[in-house]
Each structure stands twice: as C-alpha cells, then as structure tokens.
Structure 1
Amino acid sequence: MPTLPTRSARNVVRTFNKHVLNPVMLLLAGRRHWYATAIRHTGRTTGTVRTTPVVAERVPDGFLTPLPYGTDVDWLRNVVASGEATITVGGRSFDVVNPQIIGADVAAEQLTPRRRRAFARFGVEHFVKFSLATDSEAHHGN
C-alpha cells in the first residue's frame, strides 16, 4: 500500500493529467502506432459519453488496463457502474464488458515479461480486466 506522501504525489499527478495532459493525449489515443488507448464510457450520473486515454494490453480473452492511480478514478467508476465500454487501440475499436478489478499478481500471468516489469516499476498494484462483448471487433469508426 502506498504511503501518504506517495499517495499525495500520485493525486497531484493524476489531477495534472486529468486537466492538462489527457486532453492532449486524446488527440492520439487509440490511433495506430501510439501506445495510449482510448476508452469510451458513459458517466454514471450525467449519462454523458466520455473518452479517457489509458493503456490497455490485449490478452487472449479481452484487455487488461493498469490502474497506476488506483481504483478510485472516475472513468473506472463509470465503467464498473455500466458494466461496459469501448476500447480503441491501434485504430480498431472493441466493445468490452464485465470489468473486474484484479491484483497485479493475477494480471502478471497474462502479461509479457517486459510489460510485467514495466508496470511493476511504476508501482501498479491493480488492473481492470475486460472481456470482449463478442468474439469479433465492434464496428465503430476510427
């Protein structure tokens, strides 16, 4: 569990990213040859469709998304409440369902050694695991 100074530093970074970096990242998120993924989700109280840049790793039965800022982030609360989202990665969109928060130890079994080391270096303790809504890609333009 992160110490209080670590948690405070992460909150400062999270706030900066949310208001400054994320709007810039959204210009490229989900496109081919870019590391960031775009996750489209619906606000749990407003019903507004929102898009947030995240990292998502394709695994055989869905996607894994690291949670570097923990489990108390708006986009994750929205996705858990609705049970669905759309992930755009590499220019392709996928409808995903059944978001489950899992520990890094469980996620590690599904990640390449390189990704496992990278996420561990950043202190990622939790991931959200998504299942594909169907066996085929969603038909969203991007």
Structure 2
Amino acid sequence: MPAITEPARDAVRQFNKHVLNPAMLLVAGRTHWYAAVIRHTGRRTGRSYATPVVAERTPDGVLIPLPYGAGVDWLRNVMAAGRATVTVHGESLDLVDPHVVDAAIAAPQLSAHRRRAFERFGIDHFAALTVATPSKRGRP
C-alpha cells in the first residue's frame, strides 16, 4: 500500500474536523461504538472541547492512535493541561500524564485486531494517558 502524502493527510484531517467529527460526537463514547470522545480545555482560550478519537483501554489508562501526528490541536491542549477526560465504551475516565509513545511501546498493550489495523494504516505514534488516582486529581 503506498504511503499517504502529507497534503492528502491534511485534506482528510480538515474534512474530519469540520464534517465528520460533529456527526461522530453524536455517538462517540457509547457502549457499543468504536469511537471514544476526549474532553479537553483549550490551551489559549480556556474553552471546553470534545473531540472524537479511537481509544484503546489499557490496564492503567488509554492509548489513542495519532494518524495525523502529535501536532493536532486536541493533543496539544491535553499536553498543556496535563489532563483530560475520555469516555470509551460508556465509561468515563479522568486521565493524567499525557505523553506520546511509539508503536513499539504501544503494540503489546493493544488487542490483536487493533494492533493489525493500526499497523495497516501506518500509525507509528500514540497518545498514552493514565487513569488519575485520587491524589493525582488533587483530592486528599
């Protein structure tokens, strides 16, 4: 399969951001839906945002594939805030410690089905977030 060019990837990203994402938010995060929703705060505006993503639950948090790279707005917001909330398969998780990992680190934590799909799409980086413990949420 030929590699996707940067202009093509940007065109798909823009289409998704303005057309597909608003529609996806109607079902993202539901129990039997593949897409999750990440809720984050704008790093400059302070506004609350919701973005549909694919999130794979791991024992200590979630992994989110980065098909458009680590420069996407939602990830930059999450990295700046150091936290986010993800609703995946009907479960809402408060998450902290956002960082980017490469596919070699993420692969052992993914289901075989998702690992194969992400490899086919050439996804080589993932956002990793950890479920917040009460002390990490700022509670006693």
Q: Which runs of 4+ in 1 moved over 4 A?
A: none
- 1:80, distance to aligned residue in structure 2 (A): 0.2
2:41 equivalent in structure 1? 42
Map of 2:68 onto structure 1: 69
Give CA-to-partner distance per residue, 1:74-126, whole Å, 9 cap, x none.
Answer: 00000000000000011221100000100011101211222111001111010
Aligned residues: 134
Gaps of 5+ in 2: none
Q: Distance in 1 between matches of 2:103 and 2:96?
A: 20
Q: Is the partner of 1:11 in helix, strand or coil?
A: helix
SS of structure 1 residue aligned to 2:86: strand
1:79 aligns with 2:95: no
User: Scaled by the length of structure 1, what TM-score is found?
Assistant: 0.90
Instruction: Work out the percentage of aligned pairs sharing the same amino acid.
Output: 62
Report the CA distance between 1:134 and its aligned residue. Answer: 2.2
Letter in 1 for 2:31: R
1:107-118 alignment, distance < 5 Å: 107-118=106-117
1:63, distance to aligned residue in structure 2 (A): 0.4
Post-superposition Cα deviations, 1:15-53, rounded to whole Å, max 9, x if no partner, equal 000000000000000011000000000000000000000
Q: Distance in 2 between matches of 1:115 and 1:125?
A: 13
Compute the RMSD of aligned alpha carbons. Answer: 1.7
**TM-score, structure 2 length as denominator?**
0.91
Please, which runs of 5 or more residues in structure 1 have no aligned partner?
A: none
Q: Which residue of 1 aligns with 2:10?
A: 11
